[in-house]
Structure 1
Amino acid sequence: MNYTEKGSKLYLFSIVLVAVIGGLLFGYDTAVISGADKGIQAFFMGASDFVYTDAIHGITSSSALIGCIIGSALSGFFASNLGRKNSLFIAGVLFFLSALGSYNPEFLFFDYGIPSYSLLVAFNFYRVLGGVGVGLASAICPMYIAEIAPSNIRGTLVSWNQFAIIFGQLVVYFVNFLILGENSNPVIKAIEGINRILNPEATAWVTETGWRLMFVSEAVPAGIFALLVLFVPETPRYLAMSGKDEKALQVLSRINGLAQAKVILAQIKATAEEKTERLFTYGWMVIFIGIMLSVFQQAVGINAVL
């Protein structure tokens, strides 16, 4: 094989950009509910077999976070046993299925457009499914980027994932806005009991169709992500840990050049086989601060705004 002396930065960036789409989907999936919120509420308030209360609506709006907890808890197992690449593919499939299922939760089992308690459970199931994808992506996307990137630009490339999360939230707000257009006010007024200046056709469209289109819009980036992941390599670290040194060297060589790749592979092998490092090598306070930063990031109330 002929490897360039310095490897290919274009190859590296193309791989990282695929992983970054996972971060974008992270932000997209968590924020899409903000635009669909009123439409879902109006739809399920029409159910005849149960009363759709504010408490139930709160649970429905946040049900994806249950999946996030599950996905985050399983991310280490998936990454270690199935590989980083396969785990990202699974996350992409979950995003895709969640988008389609949230769009049409009636699929196979219920009559289309007829709200019921069972349909609400089905809808929340699909939202939890997407949340599992979010949990996987939140841990494995930066892990993939960190393990594929050269050490001198690793921090820069991992930060792309953080940018993509916020960008995904921004994008979905515009997507929701474009889907609803001028049809949002009637539904809000209907829910609040304001009967004047209502457009019945607009209200019906938003209640029956508008919120569905918001969820299914995620199927486009999710499908692209799942497809592109099939063409990216597994990370050199996972390959080395799996005893596939030759494949690890091939990936490293395409990124860093053959000479540097051999050095990096030797370092990976050394650290992968090192078992002496303890959990609290740098002290328990470091881990505590890291955890609390994540806690306070959410506790300040940003989710209510989002």
Structure 2
Amino acid sequence: MIDTINPVSLKKSSAYLYLVCVVAALGGFLFGFDTAVISGTVSLVKNDFSLSAVSEGWFVSCALLGCIIGVSFSGKLSDKYGRKIVLILAAILFVVSALGCMLSGSFTVLIIFRLIGGLGIGVASMVSPLYISEFSPSRYRGMMVSLYQLALTIGIVLAYFSNAYLANHAGDAHRAGSMQTIFSAEVWRAMLGLGALPAAIFLVSLFMVPESPRWLLLKGREQNAKAVLIKIDGEEAAAKEIEAFRAQDDNDDTSLTELFKPVYRKALWIGLLLPFLSQACGINAVIYYGPRILEQAGFTLNNALGGQVTIGLVNVVFTFVAIFTIDKWGRKPLLFAGVGGAVVSLLVIGALFAMGITSGPWILIFILAFISCFAFSFGPVCWVVVGEIFPNAIRGKAMALSTLSLWVGNFLVGQLTPVMLEGLGSSWTFWLFAICCSPALWITWKLLPETKGRSLENIEHYWKETYKGKA
């Protein structure tokens, strides 16, 4: 592996940088695929196991419990044992979950393997963007971390396509034995099991990438870190990175209590609020209810290209806006433009429902406008920011806290949206999403520093100098 090679024999390779970041971003692909694939299996599993409404809800939401547990331990494990080994653990969990769900003989066993998949999602949702953030040179970091969000959106779309394809071809041919059960009689097994293929690719690929250079520096393995840094960005840049790391104060606490000190208070608020608000804006509710709304608007396509896929494709396309602009324009401009556009879109959607304008193109236009605004701002920029703002010594634990905040927001929106739609109506539901989205504009303006082009050590130094200036 690269972190054991003599740095003298290494040369800078841009292709290597992109390749490693793409491998790490596969964690996002599996996150998106596993989250979305469930949509095509719910009715099938309900029929095969004769599920009650409570059991059906548990089948859909049980992975969330696994996510929360996975996030809770992933930060501590990644700080202690390294980012790479924890990513390998996530890949193994994905493989086991996909195969276990495909072969499960009872509903209880199916739930157990769904929980295991949730653990993998929780781990990957934290460690993949963390690894990319620490691995990438500062001038490319925004783009590289955005690859994670891009892979996530692609995973969602491919899950929709694979579900549609397997469902449409379930009765095409007679197969022998268990293959008949998996691909025809109980096609949901094939839908869930298909995730084992990209998970296995992720697992094998991880053995060919290095450990995070900053984690190696934290563990005193400077020569190994230097080898990685030279391969990424050349000898001169590697020397500067190592010198910046050495120049840091060496008396920082490595426990999470460091984050609660006044010097990092703003970083803490950003890390907790920005991920939470990215979910409280209602993105998952809009994606979930989007197809139904688009059908009301008269938007119809064939089974493979329904409303879900359309929304998913818009999500993918506009994530490219962030990839190509985040390191040129900066994090704050994208957040201002995207969050502002999302708030306006949500307000207009609510107004359209209030006025009874639920047919024609307008609902479609503003649903897709909201998705596109989220896709180039909240979606990718949130992951970039939380991977940058925390001090080196506790970045893993701190990012776990941020990711946990995101999953709490995800859970609350999922639980409360049906209640709001029934009790408040569609108009006020979307207006409340707009209200919940709005504080992100204030956070971006007052709390968030522009981190474009800054090294992680420079950002950590910024918090300390800012606090000294106020003291």
TM-score normalised to structure 1 length: 0.81
In the aligned structure 1, how far is the partner of 2:28 from the partner of 2:227? Answer: 26
Corresponding position of 1:41: 46
- CA deviations on 1:49-86 (whole Å, 9 max, x unpaired) are xxx21111111111111111111111101211121000
- Please report how far the alpha carbon of residue 129 of structure 1 lies from its aligned counterpart in structure 2 after TM superposition: 0.3
1:294 alignment partner, one of 272, 278, 281: 278
Matched, 1:56 2:40: no
In the aligned structure 1, how far is the partner of 2:132 from the partner of 2:25? Answer: 8
Instruction: Answer yes or no: is the 8 Å Cα contact 2:166–2:183 preserved in 1.
Output: no
Corresponding position of 1:28: 33
Matched, 1:176 2:153: no
- CA deviations on 1:80-123 (whole Å, 9 max, x unpaired) are 112100000000000000000000112xxxxxxxxxxxx21211
Letter aligned with residue 124 of structure 1? I
- Aligned-partner SS, 1:63: helix
In the aligned structure 2, how far is the partner of 1:300 from the partner of 1:13? Answer: 29
Matched, 1:216 2:203: no
1:17 alignment partner, one of 17, 22, 25: 22
Corresponding position of 2:136: 149
Equivalent positions of 1:127-276 (< 5 A) are 127-181=114-168, 208-271=185-248, 273=250, 275=252
In the aligned structure 1, how far is the partner of 2:152 from the partner of 2:249? Answer: 30
- Aligned-partner SS, 2:154: helix
Matched, 1:71 2:70: yes
Matched, 1:2 2:9: yes
Letter aligned with residue 2 of structure 1? S
In the aligned structure 2, how far is the partner of 1:12 from the partner of 1:136? Answer: 23
Letter aligned with residue 104 of structure 2? P
In the aligned structure 2, how far is the partner of 1:291 from the partner of 1:273? Answer: 30
Task: From the superposition, tell whether residues 96 and 300 of structure 1 become closer, same or farther in structure 2 (CA, over 3 Å).
Answer: closer
In the aligned structure 2, how far is the partner of 1:287 from the partner of 1:100? Answer: 35
- Please report how far the alpha carbon of residue 205 of structure 1 lies from its aligned counterpart in structure 2 after TM superposition: 7.8
- Please report how far the alpha carbon of residue 270 of structure 1 lies from its aligned counterpart in structure 2 after TM superposition: 3.6
- Aligned-partner SS, 1:275: coil
Corresponding position of 2:359: none
1:120 alignment partner, one of 107, 127, 142: 107
Task: From the superposition, tell whether residues 182 and 129 of structure 1 become closer, same or farther in structure 2 (CA, over 3 Å).
Answer: same
In the aligned structure 1, how far is the partner of 2:243 from the partner of 2:197? Answer: 40
Letter aligned with residue 168 of structure 2? G
In the aligned structure 2, how far is the partner of 1:246 from the partner of 1:174? Answer: 46
- Please report how far the alpha carbon of residue 182 of structure 1 lies from its aligned counterpart in structure 2 after TM superposition: 5.7
In the aligned structure 1, how far is the partner of 2:86 from the partner of 2:272? Answer: 27
In the aligned structure 2, how far is the partner of 1:300 from the partner of 1:170? Answer: 14
- Please report how far the alpha carbon of residue 242 of structure 1 lies from its aligned counterpart in structure 2 after TM superposition: 1.1
Letter aligned with residue 38 of structure 1? S
Aligned length: 267
Letter aligned with residue 19 of structure 1? A
In the aligned structure 2, how far is the partner of 1:74 from the partner of 1:303? Answer: 29
In the aligned structure 2, how far is the partner of 1:63 from the partner of 1:295? Answer: 18
Instruction: Answer yes or no: is the 8 Å Cα contact 2:83–2:131 preserved in 1.
Output: yes
- CA deviations on 1:129-169 (whole Å, 9 max, x unpaired) are 01100000000000000000000110111011011111100
Task: From the superposition, tell whether residues 178 and 154 of structure 1 become closer, same or farther in structure 2 (CA, over 3 Å).
Answer: same
In the aligned structure 2, how far is the partner of 1:253 from the partner of 1:206? Answer: 48
- Unaligned runs of 5+ residues in structure 2 are 1-7, 172-180, 290-307, 309-471
Higher RCO (C-alpha under 8 Å, 6+ residues apart): 1
In the aligned structure 1, how far is the partner of 2:194 from the partner of 2:245? Answer: 40
TM-score normalised to structure 2 length: 0.53
- Please report how far the alpha carbon of residue 206 of structure 1 lies from its aligned counterpart in structure 2 after TM superposition: 7.4
- Please report how far the alpha carbon of residue 289 of structure 1 lies from its aligned counterpart in structure 2 after TM superposition: 3.0
Query: Aligned Cα RMSD in Å?
Result: 2.3
- Please report how far the alpha carbon of residue 265 of structure 1 lies from its aligned counterpart in structure 2 after TM superposition: 1.6
Instruction: Answer yes or no: is the 8 Å Cα contact 2:182–2:190 preserved in 1.
Output: no
- Aligned-partner SS, 1:93: helix
In the aligned structure 2, how far is the partner of 1:216 from the partner of 1:235? Answer: 31
In the aligned structure 2, how far is the partner of 1:177 from the partner of 1:251? Answer: 42
Task: From the superposition, tell whether residues 210 and 155 of structure 1 become closer, same or farther in structure 2 (CA, over 3 Å).
Answer: same
Letter aligned with residue 166 of structure 1? T
In the aligned structure 1, how far is the partner of 2:84 from the partner of 2:217? Answer: 14
- CA deviations on 1:253-283 (whole Å, 9 max, x unpaired) are 1111112201112223444835187535353
Task: From the superposition, tell whether residues 80 and 285 of structure 1 become closer, same or farther in structure 2 (CA, over 3 Å).
Answer: closer
In the aligned structure 1, how far is the partner of 2:60 from the partner of 2:21? Answer: 32
Corresponding position of 2:462: none
Instruction: Answer yes or no: is the 8 Å Cα contact 2:37–2:163 preserved in 1.
Output: yes
Runs of 4+ that moved beyond 2 A: 1-4, 204-209, 268-274, 276-289, 297-300, 302-306
